[in-house]
Structure 1
Amino acid sequence: MKKLGLMFILSTFLGISILTGCSSPDKSNAKSTVNLEHSDKRGTVYLMAGKINTNENVNISSKITAKVAETYVDIGSTVKKGDPLMKLDSKDLEAQVAKEEASVGTAQANLAKTQIGSRPEQIYKAQALVDSANVSYENAKKNYERNQKLFDTGAISKSQLEQFQTALGEAEASYESSKADLDILNKGETQETINVAESQVKEAQAALDVSKIQMDNSVIVSPISGVVTAKDIRTGELATAGVNLMNIVNSDAMMVDAYLPAEYINKIKVGQEVVIKALEVPDKEFNGEIYVIDSVVNLKNKNILVKVKFKNQDVELKPGMFAEVGVKN
């Protein structure tokens, strides 16, 4: 069949679909619908036309904003689910992950130290400080008491006595502080302190998890198996989060939503093998099979929706192409 014939049937089909959507069916529309039938030299009778669609058609976008470091596919490339499509620059993300890993390590070490409690050498050192502070306190106390007596006899001035009193106060404060430190070491960390350390570990780990997810997002993979039908990004360009970069179509899921004049309903059945020709691929024929025949007739144009699946796929087939479907005599 010549390309002119295919263009005629598709333009007729589109004209019917548009015009009858705005008015009631009349005799002229019915006549145009009948004229859809034509055949080629091999006896294939083309009864219906429609648009190629697919059940799986996805737009690919990035979850982060970064420059494209490398692309692995181009328009027409066949990919499998999980295949990498492109890699984004991840230097900053790698540095962030390293920083968060260090923070997790520090927090975990602090928690372990808190949970283990005091080591014997720490307690020994703290006890030595207490003993030393106690000696200093006792000496300061004796000096103050001796000079108090001298003050009472008028041997020293009040300002001199106050100096010994200040020294006594400082020695006492140091002694009490060292005893408190030793008491903490002997008792170990409180549960509240341990809880705080545990929270710090969780916070650091959560930040690390977020950074790792962002790292994973720097490699964009295909969510389905199919063919790359569009690509709007190149190496070195900025991929903005949420903006479409590619389109992938599962060619195995492509079909034709064709419309059959109701008067030809007795010429087709579910499971019947058919021939498909696409307007944009005029030199090829594709084998197909009818798998759905709508039970409702469109009252405006007297057409019936018929779904036809391809039995052999081709990378040249694209969703949105117009096609006609024929049956063999």
Structure 2
Amino acid sequence: MKKNVLWIMIILLLTNATLFGCSNNKDENINTDETVSVQDNKINYCISGKVQADESVVITSKINARIANLDIDVGSTVNKGDYIITLDSKDLQAQVAQAQAGVDAAQASLNKIKSGSRPEQIEQATAALYAAKANYENTKVNNERNKSLYEAGEIPKSQLEQSETAYVSAESTVKSAQAALDMLNKGETDETIAVAEAQVKSAEAALNTAQVQLQNEKIISPISGIVTSRNINSGELASAGAPLLTIVNLDTISINAYIPSTYINKVYVDQEVVIKVSEIQGKEFKGKVSVIDSTIDSKNKNILVKIKFDDKDPLLKPGMFAEIGISEG
């Protein structure tokens, strides 16, 4: 009986020694495998990264204007096409009115040119031409007489030169009066009309620009999502191009993670993974490997891996830290 008890005790001691030896070997394996950080039921959490949204947008204004209406805040849900910001449009409306006045003035000028000369203008030009011709005839006769008198030695040369100058001037006046009358009878030249038409087009372009600027008074969300940041309040001046809001589509949440290149043979596209998020304790998420970068970071020898969540969870937010576990079973 004593011998049996002795043998039983020896067997128990040997069994315990064997068990303690396996535990130590397991610890040694974990310490020597540089790619393993945590072991949990054959899930190796060897990849880490940050939660991000594939679709996000920074809302800006195209013009400098004050905020007239801004009712959404961080955490607000918006839909694609929603009006999310209204700008003060008083200055814009004044610019449109001014541009419209410019168009009206340019068009009136063009119409006047195309309509031709009024009858009274032609009458005045005709009378001016008759007067110029009469003066020309008088100066011509006077100049001829002075030539004869000068040749006879009855007048000095200076008097002859004066009559010649008057004759030349009268002749020039006749030509100018005739040209003015011809222009009135013929109407404006094609070049003059073309210039007036170009002025109308320029004014219309200015009006179109002002109208487009006025349309920018309302800012529309280009995506559906959640407002994650707000940098301005109602009544404040929005500068063109400055960030006003950030909107994130949480339906496009994913993880950009990095894996050591030595571990790449254990990762493949569509591989199922388990995800732990440090900010969400006590919960695991499921996902799949969607993309494996074809290049290796030359600095740290890591490879970018993109992870997609199987389910969309409102608890997930961009910027959260995540660990990705891969089954080794």
Q: Same fold (TM over 0.5)?
A: yes
Classify the TM-score, shorter chain: 0.5 to 0.7
Q: Which amino acid aligns with 2:311?
A: N
- Which secondary structure state, in structure 1, belongs to the residue aligned with residue 202 of structure 2? helix
Task: Quote the offset at 1:308 in angstroms.
Answer: 0.5
Structure-1 residue corresponding to 2:40:
38
Please give the residue correspondences for 1:93-104 in structure 2 after superposition, counting only pairs within 5 Å.
Answer: 93-104=92-103
Task: Quote the offset at 1:325 in angstroms.
Answer: 2.4
Structure-1 residue corresponding to 2:140:
none
Is the Cα contact below 8 Å between 1:86 and 1:221 reproduced in 2?
Answer: yes
Structure-1 residue corresponding to 2:225:
226
Residue deviations 1:250-286, cap 9 Å, x none? 3333321234467766665321333333222336544
Residue deviations 1:202-231, cap 9 Å, x none? 221232232223223322223444332111
Question: Separation in 1 of the partners of 2:40 and 2:297?
Answer: 22
Question: Separation in 2 of the partners of 1:276 and 1:245?
Answer: 33
Uncovered stretches (5+) of structure 2, i.e. residues with no partner: 1-28, 137-172
- Which secondary structure state, in structure 1, belongs to the residue aligned with residue 116 of structure 2? coil
Q: Which amino acid aligns with 1:196?
A: V
Pick which of 102-111 and 128-137 moved more: 128-137
Structure-1 residue corresponding to 2:152:
none
Question: Paired residue for 1:125, among 120, 124, 139?
Answer: 120
Structure-2 residue corresponding to 1:105:
104
Question: Separation in 2 of the partners of 1:268 and 1:135?
Answer: 104
Pick which of 261-270 and 30-39 moved more: 261-270
Structure-2 residue corresponding to 1:148:
none
TM-score (norm 1): 0.64
Task: Quote the offset at 1:69 in angstroms.
Answer: 0.3
Question: Separation in 2 of the partners of 1:254 and 1:221?
Answer: 23
Structure-1 residue corresponding to 2:74:
75
Q: Which amino acid aligns with 2:186?
A: K
Uncovered stretches (5+) of structure 1, i.e. residues with no partner: 1-26, 142-173
CA RMSD of aligned residues (A): 4.2
Is the Cα contact below 8 Å between 1:126 and 1:181 reproduced in 2?
Answer: no
Please give the residue correspondences for 1:99-178 in structure 2 after superposition, counting only pairs within 5 Å.
Answer: 99-114=98-113, 116-118=114-116, 122=118, 124-129=119-124
Shift in alpha-carbon separation, 1:130–1:34, aligned structure 2, 3 A:
closer
TM-score (norm 2): 0.64
Structure-1 residue corresponding to 2:214:
215
Max radius of gyration: which structure? 2
Question: Separation in 1 of the partners of 2:261 and 2:124?
Answer: 103
Structure-1 residue corresponding to 2:310:
311
Identity of aligned residues (%): 48
Q: How many residues align?
A: 269
Q: Which amino acid aligns with 1:76?
A: G
Q: Which amino acid aligns with 1:118?
A: G
Structure-2 residue corresponding to 1:249:
248
Structure-2 residue corresponding to 1:237:
236
Q: Which amino acid aligns with 1:204?
A: A
- Which secondary structure state, in structure 2, belongs to the residue aligned with residue 282 of structure 1? coil
